[in-house]
Amino acid sequence: MIGLISATAAGAAARDRLAAAWPDRTRVYEGPAGEAVRAAFAECDRLVCFLATGATVRLLAPLLGDKAADPGVVCVDEGGRFAVSLVGGHGGGANELAHQVAQLLGAEPVVTTATDAVGLTGLDTLGLPAEGAVAAVSRALLDGEPVALEAESAWPLPPVPFAGQGAYTVRLTDRAVRPGPREVLLRPPSLVVGVGASRGAPVEEVLGLIEEALREAGLSVRSVAELATVDAKSEEPGIVAAAGRLGVPLVTYPADELAAVAVPNPSDAPLAAVGTPSVAEAAALRTGGELLVPKRKSAASPAMATCAVVRRPGRGRLAVVGLGPGARDLLTPRAAAELRRASVLVGLDQYVDQIRDLIRPGTRVLESGLGAEEERARTAVAEARKGHAVALIGSGDAGVYAMASPALAEASDDIDVVGVPGVTAALAAGAVLGAPLGHDHVSISLSDLHTPWEVIERRVRAAAEADIVVTFYNPRSRGRDWQLPKALAVLSGHREPETPVGVVRNASRPDESARLTTLAGLDPATVDMMTVVTVGNTATRNIAGRMVTPRGYRWQHAPEGAR
Give 122-171 pLDDT, tens digit per residue: 887 788 888 999 889 989 988 889 999 999 888 898 888 888 888 899 99
| Distance in angstroms (rounded) separating the CA atoms of residues 21 and 210 | 43
Which of 346, 358, 353 lies closest to 386, judged by CA? 346
Q: Which residues contact 196 (CB under 8 A, 6 or more apart)?
A: 229, 230, 233, 270, 279, 280, 283, 305, 306, 307
pLDDT at res. 389: 94
pLDDT at res. 112: 86
Q: At what angle do helices 237-246 and 203-216 cross, to 10 degrees?
A: 50
pLDDT for residue 556 is more than 80: no
Identify residue 363 by its one-letter amino acid code.
T
Give 497-526 pLDDT, tens digit per residue: 999 999 999 999 999 999 999 999 999 999
Give 358-404 pLDDT, tens digit per residue: 998 889 999 998 888 899 999 999 999 999 999 999 999 999 988 99
The mean pLDDT value for 444-471 works out to 94
pLDDT at res. 162: 87
173-177, Cβ contacts within 8 angstroms, sequence gap of 24 or more: 173/220, 174/219, 174/220, 174/223, 174/311, 175/218, 175/219, 175/220, 176/214, 176/215, 176/218, 176/219, 176/220, 177/218
pLDDT band at 533 (very low <50, low <70, confident <90, very high): very high
DSSP one-letter code for 312? P
Contact 220, 187 (CB under 8 A): yes
Which of 139, 14, 13 lies closest to 74, judged by CA? 14
Q: Which residues contact 146 (CB under 8 A, 6 or more apart)?
A: 140, 163, 164, 165, 166, 167, 168
Instruction: Tell if the pTM clears 0.95, that is, is over it.
Output: no
| Distance in angstroms (rounded) separating the CA atoms of residues 374 and 474 | 18
Handedness of CA 50, 56, 59, 64 (dihedral sign): positive
pLDDT at res. 562: 46
Give 192-240 pLDDT, tens digit per residue: 999 999 999 999 999 999 999 999 999 999 999 999 999 999 999 999 9
| Distance in angstroms (rounded) separating the CA atoms of residues 534 and 549 | 11
Taking the CA atoms of the chain, what radius of gyration do you get in angstroms? 30
Contact 85, 109 (CB under 8 A): yes
Q: Over the range 354-363, which residues count as b (16 or more CB within 10 Å of their CB) and which as e?
A: bbeebbbebb
CB atoms inside a 10 Å sphere around CB 288: 12
pLDDT at res. 43: 92
pLDDT for residue 560 is more than 60: no
pLDDT at res. 442: 96
Helices and strands counted in the chain (H then E): 18, 28
Q: Is 483 exposed, middle or buried (0-12, 13-18, 19+ CB in 10 A)?
A: buried
CB atoms inside a 10 Å sphere around CB 469: 26
pLDDT at res. 455: 96
Handedness of CA 327, 332, 333, 337 (dihedral sign): negative
96-101, Cβ contacts within 8 angstroms, sequence gap of 24 or more: 97/2, 97/46, 97/48, 97/72, 98/74, 101/18, 101/48, 101/74, 101/76
Contact 87, 72 (CB under 8 A): yes
CB atoms inside a 10 Å sphere around CB 512: 16
Share of the chain above pLDDT 90, in %: 71
Terminal alpha carbon distance of the chain: 46
Which of 174, 188, 387, 178 lies closest to 293, judged by CA? 174
pLDDT for residue 551 is more than 50: yes
Q: Which residues contact 480 (CB under 8 A, 6 or more apart)?
A: 446, 447, 448, 474
Cα separation values, 14 from 3, 9, 61, 84, 210, Å: 13, 9, 25, 15, 49
